[in-house]
A and B are shown apart, each in its own frame.
Chain A
Amino acid sequence: MDMSFSPDDRAFRDEVRQFLKDRLPARLSDKVRQHRELTKAEMEEWHAILQERNWLAGNWPREFGGSGWTPIQRHIFEEESALAHAPRVLPFGVAMLGPLLQKFGSREQQDRFLPRILDGQDWWCQGYSEPGAGSDLASVKTSAVRDGDHYVVNGQKTWTTLGQHANWIFCLVRTGPAAKPQEGISFLLIDMTSPGITVRPIVLLDGTPEVNEVFFDNVKVPVENLVGEENKGWTYAKFLLTHERTNIAGVGFATSGLAALKRIARAQVAYGKALIDNPLFAARVADVEIELMAMSTTNLRMLAQAAAGHAPMAESSMLKLKGTQIRQAINDLTRRALGPWALVFPSEALEGANDTPPPGPAEAAWATRAYLNNRKLSIYGGSNEIQRGIIAKSLLGL
């Protein structure tokens, strides 16, 4: 047993740190640190900087233009990026669709779409959830009816993250009759500029239009945009969901969030002493720090297993459960640390028309936004209740 990183991995960490120091623009990391909305151009800028170093697709093999990193290297990159407040790599093309096309796509689809993910020509979004299909994803109703060399798509997708910027969407659509809900679903790639598509933003309770509704009204999609076989989409969707969970623990986000929480709690003063020295508050912070120390090791144990060729299944559900609980606890403590300043409404304070800084401590507005926005953590990617079901069924065999 050796809990330290190998010399190669330590050297890689140094390399990542140096890269972030040299190439991450402060105007981007400042916005990320303050949980301010990045523009489309800013997100694309960071993708381009990473791609220049061939570091955009850490999870892709080299033959497809990826970095070919080991699971440990990917973890190191994600952790260091979070600690440096780098913008996140948008998961839709790189983490989700890329691996799916590499496994199930045709040669033509790989040649056509993979390079465009890397060079930023395409911005993908995910068309999974529908108003009637959330956790019960297999009950999607959006239909695709074959008409010659096209499918005609009708229906509605929702919770489409950053869909307002996307020019492509990958969708689960119903193509066939189904004895079971999981049957008759296909995986379709749809050009967002096609006639009949309407995107409507959904403003969330933190004031940001992060997600959207996407409506399809007789949208014509060429049949060559079908991935794999017709009616086999559920298999591909499940594959994609396991890939979505590779960085599910969010150790880097939690670590940088905890550091920010401690910084704030040292600066906030009540009854003449720093909040961090209040025994009750200190106990809450210590509790979450101890949980994070353990969870971070659980994450490394799973990565070591993944590196040895064992694909984590139910274990990743445990990481999602614990990881999101820890991050939400940190968000909650950070907001509470700011007392009455946590009442400042984030959108106006952070993205208001004038250039005056937000009122109160610099962190106040973003702390509330982070708290409100990260309610999503226990809902998306399979809600935490779904994860509990997966754990019970696969580990307990119940």
Chain B
Amino acid sequence: MTPMAAKRMRLRGMVRKESLQILRDPSSIAIAFVMPVVLLLLFGYGVSLDARNVPLAMVVEQADANTASLIGAFRHSEYFDPRPFENIQAAQKAFDLREVFGIVWLRNDFSRRLLSQGDAPIGVIVNGVDANQARITEGYIQGVWQTWLGDFARSQGVELQVPVVLEPRIWFNAAVRSRNFLVPGLIAVIMTLIGAMLTSMVVAREWERGTMEALMVTPIRIGEMVVGKLVPYFLLGMGGMLLSVAMALWQFDVPLRGSFWALTAASALFMLVALGMGLLISVVAKNQFVAGQVSIVITFLPAFILSGFIFQISSMPYAIQVITHIVPARYYVAILQSLFLAGDIWPIVLSNSAALLVMMLIFLGLARRKFHKRLDA
């Protein structure tokens, strides 16, 4: 047998062994196929930054046509669910009990000041605990106010004098649907978990069960062992990945404006990084307990918080921005958000893919180096 043929045979044997192991313990298959579907369904619907029907307490101290038109403007907005309250005390009580998110308060001189001096105050209190939600709600309230101002001026037969008008055009996501950017990000988070979980325990398990010793006495080389362990999991992971992309497109109606091939290539690269990370964990830990702990700690929360999936990286302090560079999901999120929403933006796709490639080489290289065929190591 030539050395090449022997190598092929050993590799084939290893891949076959790992594949059988996967098939016999269905939990790996569940991780690769069931988990992305369940998580993406749950999070795709559950994670949203678009507020709808925000409950607002409406306190009108003296009702008339003007207050009615303003309240009507809130009622017509899809963002609000206005609820009338007798007086400010009652509204505040509901506010304290978190029954309403904010209060709109029109005092009894509202109409008089509106018509005579033209400086009628619209008192608004919002719950600022969730600062992001409060800011978004403020924006919606301003929108309602501006619409109403225009209507009011028209009803008075005057032109509303606005010196500068802001004309925003939001590219790539004109409807400002948060799902369009969250779902691609979620794919990155979920795939990080799956990649790491699939492999993080496979080597540690061999050590603990003692089957590593059996592997050691075979002529298999370390490199072949690494490749042999990766191939079946890579195929599984890619299956889960395709499933997720299909769901993003057809279940969540996220547009895919870039090319499918760029997406597949970048995903394959990322899958290898995630698997490599898991493999490295399991090689270093040599103990399923620790491998499991480590993979929970270093995969999920960093991918969730430091990847740019939900929190903008450019707003983080500089030192933290530097740290985000060691989170592989960061690069994949950037690629996915651009490929899905903007198209094949090659400078972004290529630079982030290059970073992923470097990470893949580091993880797999380290895993191979730390992987000893010795008992005492």
| Binding partners A and B | no
